Amino acid sequence: MAACWLPVAMSNNTNPIVISYGGGTNSTALLWGMHEKGIQPDLVLFADTGGEMPGTYLHVGQVREWALGLGWDFRIVSNADPFPRKRHKHKSLEDECYNNTTLPSLAFGFKGCSAKWKRQPMDRAVKEWDLAKATWEAGGKVERWIGIDADEAHRSAKLEESDDPLFIYRRPLIDWDWGRDECVEAIARSPFAQPGKSACFFCPAAKKREVFALAREHPDLFARAVAMEEHAKERLGSTKGLGRSFSWKELVEQGDSPLYREVIEQDCGCYEGGDTDDG
């Protein structure tokens, strides 16, 4: 069923508001913007894959402490949490890949890892939430606010409006006309540092320069990513590794030259695009 998107201005103040917090620029700006505008969410959810970057865990912890200080309900959820009919229990997305001798589905061109380790635990938490159940029993709906900014409105342009029986989805950053620059400016007004990109340390969507940076700055995490590749190597088919058309191990080994070392010491100056989980 397609989502029903409505502007924040049409929000019914009696509807519970749930924030899908990704830990990146957009969702952090969304929380700060709500605070500036005097809007209080009823529930903030962060889905932990178990493989976030150290900086993301630090940032999320700081934002959560701030939110709890305001009296907001900020919960960290995970697909590792037990629930009925679960056949296998994996401690993290990394653990699941090892147990199944494979790589994150994005390495094969699919997005199942995000659906399973981000969306599903959030959906389950909302459906088990007492306020949501009471709202639905009374015939109401729950609002889910998503951090899609005004520069990436195309991400939801094709969604058709429909009457979802449980949820109303809103894109407040678009309604506020906040693009990436405005989100960065909003965080600059907050007590938080700029969070940058939020993604698993072994995410197949990582750019090559990000793989090199991981190897240089977090060699322990890079070693775990390479170990995942090596463990799944015999079952990858045409996929070469976490880079789909190349393995991270070979990329860094081939780049280990004087030229490579000179390049990675320089600031690439690239504009960091949208967060992988702020949608």
92-135: per-residue pLDDT in tens? 999 999 999 999 999 998 888 888 999 999 999 999 999 999 99
Give the Cα-Cα-Cα angle 93, 99, 103 (nearest 5 degrees).
Answer: 55
Q: Where are the CATH 3.40.50.620 domain residues in the chain?
A: 8-188
* 213: enclosing H helix or E strand: helix 208-217
Domain 8-188 has CATH 3.40.50.620: yes
Above pLDDT 90, what percent of the chain?
A: 68
d(CA 146, CA 171): 5
pLDDT tens digits, residue range 35-88? 999 999 999 999 999 999 999 999 999 999 999 999 999 999 998 876 555 556
Question: Is 160 in contact with 3 (CB distance < 8 Å)?
Answer: no
Which candidate, 27, 51, 19, places its Cα nearest to that of 192?
Answer: 27
Give 170: exposed, middle or buried? Use CB within 10 Å, 0-12, 13-18, 19+: buried
CA-based nearest residue to 239, from 135, 123, 97: 97
Number of H helices, E strands in the chain: 12, 5
Cα angle at 166 between 162 and 167, to 5 degrees?
A: 65
* Category of 224 on φ-ψ map: left (φ > 0), alpha (ψ -120 to 50) or beta: alpha
Tens digits of residue pLDDT in 160-172: 455 689 999 889 9
pLDDT of residue 162: 53
| Nearest C-alpha neighbor of 183 from the set 43, 36, 16, 60 | 36
Does 268 have pLDDT greater than 50? no
In 3D, which of 232, 244, 243 has the Cα closest to residue 100?
Answer: 232
Averaged pLDDT of the chain? 85
Residues belonging to the chain: 279
